[in-house]
Chain A
Amino acid sequence: MENRFKGNIKKENSSNSIIDNLLIGGIRIISFSVIIIFILILGKIFYEGIGVINWNFLTGIPKSDISKGGIGPAIFGTMAVSIIMLILAVPVGIFSAIYISEFAKDTFWLRLIRASVNSLAGVPSIVIGLFGFGFFVLFIGKSIDNILQTGMLFGQPAIIWASATLAVLVLPTIIVTTTEALNSIPLTFRQASLGLGASKWQTIRYIILPQARPGILTGVILALSRSIGETAPIMFLGCAFFLPNLPLAYLDLSFVQIPIINPADQFMHLAYHIFILATQSSNPTLTAPFQYGTTLVLVLITLLLNLTAIIFRFRFRKIIEVVNRNQ
């Protein structure tokens, strides 16, 4: 595929070739314009936002006047939701991928799982949010409250339900990328391991998973970056605009108190914060630098994550290529 013939055949005395080159040039120009627009969009955010970012902005607590203070709780809330989301989604996603790639034969069940993963990936995020609100908060949360007699502790929007909903949202991403990573491990590795007398589980645990680690990490990072950028599903799942206190609970061990994320608390979130700043601000010119600063933080986080994922994938492909070449 790579060494494709790209040269143009020289044609003499033909007005066609001039028109042709013009058209090819047109494709070039339009493509470059699109890319330049993309660069301008990123450049604008960097240019306007970079001046606001300093330590106080990143860690400070928002003031009631939103042109002052910082976005510390929003960054913390984003991290808290993402960490719980990863805890919920990553094991299930990797185990599903192991089933698809290593265990399943081409049966009804495999086709059902494949089709479900594809369909789940296509469900709009707002519909998943709607489902999360109705199912996790009102059904599961209320049921837990009824059983444990905890009043209104779980039956309301909270971090745990936002994380669970985001976990449903990113599950297909993790499954698809992990399955690809597992599938790209050469068959001979499995044969060699089994030939040495290892069981199937030992083969997966000691041969396949370590080999596929960069590929699996790519999927996890992509899922993380996607969940951080999603705003629509969490809007009604416990996101608050202004919470001066971090959503923490303290694990009391009598001699020391360990702060942990309180999963039943409300939270602030970077993406939601941008939405509120952009739409509800009473004086847009005054708060503009603040808005750009918050946006730049979110953009930097997702760019960094996506870049890491791309580098991981690149390295993983190189490794697989080398392995295949040496066989």
Chain B
Amino acid sequence: MTKKYHSFYAKKRTFKSTLVEKAVKYFFFLNGMISVLFLVLIFLFLFREAFSAISNIGINEFFKNVEWYPTSEDSRYSIIPLILGTLLTAIPATIISSFLGIILGIYLSEIASGRTREIIKPFIEIFAGLPTVVIGFLILAVGSTFFQELFNAGTRLNALLAAFGLSIILIPTISSLTEDALRAVPNNLRMASYALGISKFAMIKNVVIPAAISGVSAGIILGFGRAIGETMIVLMASGNAAELTLNLLHSVRTITATIAGELGEVAIGSPHYYSLFFIGTFLLIITFIINLISELIIERMRKKLKKMN
């Protein structure tokens, strides 16, 4: 990626101009290091507070029992129902949006005409930038009653409703990553399969998708990571009861919604305060690993496609 034009620079003449150029370079370098600094600070800071939580409450407390009651007399800090709640919203959301997003990506890359794509693509891009609080509001205002009648759910706000809200923001992410992956497949593969007399759908299914499978799966993993980290939609639509349940129609409480809902009222320096940092650190590590995996997959795909070309 980096351009090799350095050798074209003229030899520097005077001591003063060399000094100025050096200073300019170090100025830009220091600015570049600010991202590194903040990433390190985020990790250091969250880990420090998480360790306070472990020394205050004990690591066992977070995984031993199955209740999250940080404000009651006999306070309990189990992260288990929160993890369960996060998965119960994120997994259905990823399944729904992978199905629809991949189909939309295939349509945009392989089927739609150039002009249709030029209209639809910016529209989807705009939708990816819609504030999540807007989706949360609509789910609350319109979706909740509609889905309650549709699924005959006991509680108006539940995990499935949050999953539907999440898929609205995940579909644009997954569809554009799928489209990128499919468009990166060399065109001569398509030509060759047509020449062999294969039909269009069979070509998509047997040639294009297998060639782009790593890019598509990276999109799904990235979407899952986004679903885990999303706050506003689950805070507004999931009902926020820290129940231990596997029923999608029950209300659940996610890690993100717990932090968002409780940090405002917590006493600073209390075990409850530190426990919020502990679950935040947990979330940070999980999303970090997920992003790393998807990046490795994309990197591998790039190398593979380079070889093909």
Contact between chains at A194 and B133 (CB < 8 Å): no
Residues in A neighbouring B256, C-beta threshold 8 A: 124, 126, 232
Residues in A neighbouring B264, C-beta threshold 8 A: 235-236
Contact between chains at A135 and B45 (CB < 8 Å): yes
Residues in B neighbouring A190, C-beta threshold 8 A: 5, 8
Tell me how many residues of A have a C-beta within 8 Å of chain B.
104
Contact between chains at B104 and A122 (CB < 8 Å): no
Contact between chains at A187 and B3 (CB < 8 Å): yes
- In the complex formed, the residue of B with least CB distance to A185 is B3
Q: How far is the CA of A276 from the CA of B178 in the complex (A)?
A: 36
Contact between chains at B141 and A123 (CB < 8 Å): no
Contact between chains at B35 and A228 (CB < 8 Å): no
Which residues 37-72 of B sit at the A interface, judged by CB distance below 8 A?
38-39, 41-42, 45-46, 49
- In the complex formed, the residue of B with least CB distance to A228 is B131
Residues in A neighbouring B231, C-beta threshold 8 A: 124-126, 231-232
A98-106, A144-152, A319-327: which lies at the interface: A98-106
Residues in A neighbouring B187, C-beta threshold 8 A: 1, 4-5
Which residues 160-211 of B sit at the A interface, judged by CB distance below 8 A?
168, 171, 183, 187, 190-191, 194, 197-202
Partner of B129, one of A28, A98, A116, A226: A226
Contact between chains at B5 and A124 (CB < 8 Å): no
Query: Which one of A34, A99, A116 has the greatest number of beta carbons of chain B within 10 Å?
Result: A34
Contact between chains at A235 and B168 (CB < 8 Å): no
Q: Is residue B100 contacting chain A, with contact meaning CB distance below 8 A? A: yes
Which residues 70-96 of A sit at the B interface, judged by CB distance below 8 A?
91-92, 95-96
Contact between chains at A126 and B35 (CB < 8 Å): no
Contact between chains at A119 and B39 (CB < 8 Å): yes
Q: Is residue A257 contacting chain B, with contact meaning CB distance below 8 A? A: no
Contact between chains at A119 and B288 (CB < 8 Å): yes
Q: How far is the CA of A23 from the CA of B110 in the complex (A)?
A: 13
Partner of B260, one of A31, A134, A235: A235
Closest A-B pairs by Cβ, 5 of them: A124-B229, A229-B131, A95-B31, A232-B231, A122-B291
On B, residues with C-beta under 8 Å from A are 1-3, 5-6, 8-10, 17, 20-21, 24-25, 27-29, 31-36, 38-39, 41-42, 45-46, 49, 100, 103-104, 106-108, 110-114, 120, 122-127, 129-138, 140-142, 168, 171, 183, 187, 190-191, 194, 197-202, 225, 228-232, 235-236, 256, 259-260, 263-264, 268, 276-277, 280, 283-284, 287-288, 291, 295
